[in-house]
Amino acid sequence: MGARIIAIATSNKHKVEEINNILSGCGYRVEPVNVPKIEVQSASLVEVATFAAATAYHVLHRPVIVEDAGLFVEALNGFPGPYSAYVYKTIGISGLLRLLEGESNRKAVFRSVIALAHRGGVEIFTGETRGAISLEPRGSQGFGFDPVFVPLGETRTFAEMSIEEKNRFSHRGRAAKKLCEWLTREQVL
Amino acid sequence: MGARIIAIATSNKHKVEEINNILSGCGYRVEPVNVPKIEVQSASLVEVATFAAATAYHVLHRPVIVEDAGLFVEALNGFPGPYSAYVYKTIGISGLLRLLEGESNRKAVFRSVIALAHRGGVEIFTGETRGAISLEPRGSQGFGFDPVFVPLGETRTFAEMSIEEKNRFSHRGRAAKKLCEWLTREQVL
């Protein structure tokens, strides 16, 4: 009798081999299938915010906003990206700076997505700010990686700016301005 | 006229302040609500695998497996954890070793979750392996962080072992064995 086959949603052939090595002992085998595996971990900021806002609306039954942001460092291939909050909580600012020790390319982009869920659907507003990762943390305002992000054309980090100043440059400020314009124009909320 | 209020699903007061600083310009304000925000980024391995398997079953209409694994490094507060694949693709093994430079606590755990979705629901099988992060990568077998993971009681990394040897110790091998036992016992697939 041949092995019974179960589909496995992966493109990683090592996983398939390792699992089949065990399953051969009980008469089964897995075979990769080409289903688009929904990897929620690799969801983009837009997907994350859209999903979270739609879910929150479903619970609250009233208009609700979710804002999600990420810091994308060029020399680190976009790391920490959509996982910035998790990375901040685990390796922190010191970990990020360590990964960039001796690196001359300090370019980074902060991106913000605001998802507004309401009766008419989910609206998305995005903002981004280009800048660089400083050599040392500076400032105590803001949160997250603000102490090491210097927006293009500035010498101070986000954490050295008041909310008003940061909002002039910031990814979140830009997304919030678009939200403001939409609210003013649509007059539905 | 007072500002119109929109709910925002966050516990981050900085976000609320920054967004309100902009929205005051258009007569709105956000107020934090206590809805459990579904942060798909911070989903655990079990949640990720369950969701992916259920979704794949919905598309395929046949039994399907999703395996998800993560490396949790103690000195890095569990980083890279559920985001190991993303972290491997961005900062890689060299980034992980850099974060641990000079660190004497090299303890780490590899965890694997196999989610099997079938007509009767989603079954979960887990496995974990304790070990340590080596000082340098060694070996060319396996994948991901295998070249720097030495299971407890061994001197070789996972990447220095054949599939059969790795499966004796490995998180994925242990999860797959539980799947095997379940398949044998239940006889439903």
Place of tokens 């697939």: B189
Domain map (residue ranges) of chain A: 1-37, 40-186
pLDDT digits (tens, 9 = 90+) for B96-149: 999 999 999 999 999 999 999 999 999 999 999 999 999 999 999 999 999 999
Kindly determine whether residue A7 and residue B56, on different chains, have CB atoms separated by under 8 Å: yes
CA distance A68 to chain B (A): 10
Q: Is the peptide bond before A32 cis (omega within 30 degrees of 0)?
A: no
* pLDDT band, very low/low/confident/very high, at B41 (cuts 50, 70, 90): low
- d(CA A44, CA A42) in angstroms, rounded, equals 6
User: What amino acid occupies position B35?
Assistant: V
Told to judge if A146 belongs to the known catalytic residues of this protein, a careful annotator would answer no
CB of B79 closer than 8 Å to CB of B42: no
- d(CA B178, CA A10) in angstroms, rounded, equals 20
pLDDT digits (tens, 9 = 90+) for A137-154: 999 999 999 999 999 999
Its pTM stands at 0.86
With beta carbons under 8 A apart, name residues in chain A contacting B25: 180
Selected catalytic residue, list A68, A123, A146, A160: A68
User: What amino acid occupies position A88?
Assistant: Y
- CATH fold for the domain made of A40-186: Maf protein (3.90.950)
Of A67, A82, A89, the CB nearest to B77: A89
Place of tokens 């780490």: B108
CA distance B137 to chain A (A): 17
